[in-house]
Every structure is written in C-alpha cells, then in structure tokens.
Chains A and B, each alone.
Chain A
Amino acid sequence: AIQVTQSPSSLSASVGDRVTITCRTSQGVRDDLSWYLQRPGRAPKLLIYSASTLQSGVPSRFRGSGSGTEFALTISNLQPEDFGTYFCLQDNIYPYTFGPGTKLEIK
C-alpha cells in the first residue's frame, strides 16, 4: 500500500495567519490527492480534491497544490472555524490511504 506522511504533526497559529501543511506519498499518485478537515467530535469534511480543486462551498482561503509525491495545503487568513485536524488522502491507488493528520491549534 502507498504510505502517506504529513508534516508538521501539529502546529499553533493565530487568527489571520497563513499556514502550510505538506503531504508526501511513497509513490507517485498524479494529482489524486484530497484534503479533509476534521473538527473535534465531527466527521471529516472534504476541502480539496484532485490536489488543487476547491470543493463546492469551501472558502477560497484554502489552496491546494502539488502533484506526483509532494502536495501542500495552504490556508490564508486563518479563521476560528479552521482549527482542527487536517488529513490528506491519496485516492489514486487502492487501498486508499490517509496521512496521519496535522492538528492545527489556536495560539
């Protein structure tokens, strides 16, 4: 199975900041990578698919980039509702595999 790593595992930021989370896969997955936000006690929510396409209804302050084995999620102008755990998912080759998550906390 394709291994997925994320960095950092956690970070603290303030409202209004810009942060970047990276995701790496053990083999190339083209642009078949999606990003999810999970708030505590809630189900994950799709933010970005196909590496850089914004899911309907997701604010434009979220931006995805990358292809192959290296990907990034950048969030600009952090808002209170953006805090939680971010997961990437390689959805190119079965079995799909998630990254271990990046916990974004309020500073």
Chain B
Amino acid sequence: QVHLQESGPGLVRPSETLSLTCSVSGDSISSTVSGGYYWSWVRQPPGKGLEWIGYIHYSGGTNFSPSLKSRLTMSVDTSNNRFSLKLTSLTAADTAVYYCGRGHCITTNCPLDSWGQGTLVTVSS
C-alpha cells in the first residue's frame, strides 16, 4: 500500500520561498501503471476548503493552477522516490495545510486515491 509523507518548514516569512517534499513509499514514483501517476499537491487554508495546486508526472510533465503558476515549480526525484514543490513570493494567503497526493488516472480523469497526512505551513514574520 502506498504511503505519502510531506516534509518542510512549518513557518516561512513573507516574500520568501516555500519548499516542500513528498516522500513516497510502497510504490515507485516512476511506475507506469495507467500511464504513470500524477503526483499532486492540494492545499487547505485553516477552516476552509480544498484547493488543487498542480501535479507532476514522473516524466517531468506538469500542470499547475493558473492562480499559482507564476510562482510555482515542481520537480521529481526518481532516485529517492520523492517529488517537491517550490512556491515563491509567499504571503499570508498562502498559509495552509499542504497535502501531497497520488493522481491515479482512469481514462481522462485522475482522482486522488492516496494522500499524505498534510503539513501546516504558516506565513508570518
């Protein structure tokens, strides 16, 4: 059974860059099942709903939320079975629990069938 675990700083200062890593165990990040998984990020501001951030495929292909695209990069480290997110120019609006997840594509849809436990990131000086 796949297990995902986020890691990163709990507190980041405004205008700085957030770096988060999701370590995957129990499955290969390079798996070609269903054409390969879409390794994804979702965030949830305290007390609010879920926001899809984007995904990266093991091949390096990405797709990002237009609202974050200008500040966002993602990378995949197949050697260490993990993937990462970098979000620049942080503001208080980026304060949220960040989840990593596995998008498992069926046909044209890729529901998130496994999630990490989430990590709270607070943007504050």
Q: Which residues of A contact B (CB under 8 A)?
A: 1, 30, 32, 34, 36, 42-46, 49-50, 55, 87, 89, 91-92, 94-101
Cα distance A106–B51 in the bound complex, in angstroms: 26
Residue of A nearest to B102 (CB): A46
**Which of A30, A45, A92, A95 is the one whose CB lies under 8 Å from B115?**
A45
**CB pair B111 A95 closer than 8 Å:** no
Q: Give 21 A-B contacts (CB < 8 Å), ordered by A residue.
A: A34-B109, A36-B112, A42-B117, A43-B99, A43-B115, A43-B116, A44-B50, A44-B99, A44-B112, A46-B113, A49-B111, A87-B49, A87-B50, A89-B50, A91-B103, A91-B110, A95-B67, A96-B52, A98-B51, A98-B52, A101-B50
Q: Which residues of B contact A (CB under 8 A)?
A: 42, 49-52, 54, 63-67, 99, 103, 106-118
Q: Which chain B residues lie closer than 8 Å to A36 at the CB level?
A: 112
Known pairs A30-B108, A49-B111, A50-B107. 9 more at Cβ < 8 A? A44-B115, A46-B114, A50-B106, A89-B111, A91-B110, A95-B64, A95-B67, A98-B51, A101-B49
Residue of B nearest to A46 (CB): B113
Residue of B nearest to A34 (CB): B111
- A91 and B109 in contact, given A44-B50, A98-B50, A100-B49 (Cβ under 8 angstroms): yes
Cα distance A89–B63 in the bound complex, in angstroms: 16
**CB pair A95 B106 closer than 8 Å:** no
Cα distance A95–B106 in the bound complex, in angstroms: 17
Residue of A nearest to B100 (CB): A43
Q: Which chain A residues lie closer than 8 Å to B116 at the CB level?
A: 43
Cα distance A34–B50 in the bound complex, in angstroms: 13
Cα distance A30–B108 in the bound complex, in angstroms: 10
Cα distance A36–B52 in the bound complex, in angstroms: 14
- A92 and B108 in contact, given A98-B51, A98-B52, A100-B49 (Cβ under 8 angstroms): yes
CB distance from A23 to the nearest CB of B (A): 13
Residue of A nearest to B52 (CB): A96
Residue of B nearest to A100 (CB): B49
CB distance from B52 to the nearest CB of A (A): 4
